[in-house]
């Protein structure tokens, strides 16, 4: 794992590492760095799809609940007005759409990030404490087919890092 002083160096290093053929990579930064996902060769996030599904469930479910309650299960005649009075059902349908979409956004985000995660090996490196403060890290995982302790270290050292550390699991 290599430590860098700013995000430009990190993106540059990531691009070079990816070009070198490493694939099992992750980069760590105190704030979101744009261009990193591309440098890491990552696909787009699936959060929007989850939110769309959640929102649709909330909306359809909410409307169905009102239709079922007002039309089927508990029909109540108010001055002869239609039982299936859809305009009056819109506000609650809308609110439930938003509620379910928002819940799926945060739950989806956590699930895709595999959080909560009580243990992660990167925290074994003492310098990593600064990853949330003002330092930027690039980690080549040992499961990468190209990974070789000595050669990978030498390669990372050529990327202008502040330091290179081995992450013990």
Residues of this chain, 112-151, that bind other proteins according to CB under 8 A:
112-113, 115-120, 122-123, 129-134
- Smallest gap from Cβ 88 to other proteins, in A, equals 4
Tokens of 90: 């819109």
Number of residues in contact with other proteins under rule CB under 8 A: 71
Number of Cβ within a 10 Å radius of residue 156: 23
Q: How far is CA 121 from the centre of its chain?
A: 19
- Beta-strand relationship, 136-140 and 25-28: antiparallel
List the one residue from 96, 140, 152, 155 that touches other proteins (CB under 8 A).
96
Quick one: which H or E segment has residue 4? strand 2-4
Binders in 36-75 for other proteins, by CB under 8 A: 36-37, 40, 42, 45, 47-48, 51, 65-66, 69-70, 73-74
Q: CB of 14 within 8 A of CB of 39?
A: yes
- Smallest gap from Cβ 85 to other proteins, in A, equals 6
CB closer to other proteins, 20 vs 91 = 91
């Amino acid at each position: 794992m290599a430590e860098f002083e700013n995000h430009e160096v990190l993106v540059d290093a990531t691009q070079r590492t990816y070009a070198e053929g490493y694939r099992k990579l992750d980069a760590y930064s105190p704030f979101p760095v744009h261009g990193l996902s591309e440098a890491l060769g990552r696909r787009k996030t699936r959060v929007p799809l989850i939110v769309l599904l959640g929102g649709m469930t909330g909306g359809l479910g909410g409307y169905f609940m009102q239709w079922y309650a007002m039309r089927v299960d508990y029909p109540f005649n108010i001055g002869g007005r239609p039982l299936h009075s859809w305009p009056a059902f819109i506000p609650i349908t809308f609110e439930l759409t938003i509620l379910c979409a928002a819940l799926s956004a945060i739950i989806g985000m956590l699930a895709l990030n595999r959080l909560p995660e009580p243990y992660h090996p990167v925290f074994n490196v003492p310098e990593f404490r600064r990853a949330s403060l003002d330092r930027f890290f690039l980690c080549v995982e040992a499961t990468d087919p190209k990974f070789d302790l000595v050669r990978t270290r030498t390669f990372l050292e050529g990327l202008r890092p502040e330091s290179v550390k081995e992450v013990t699991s």
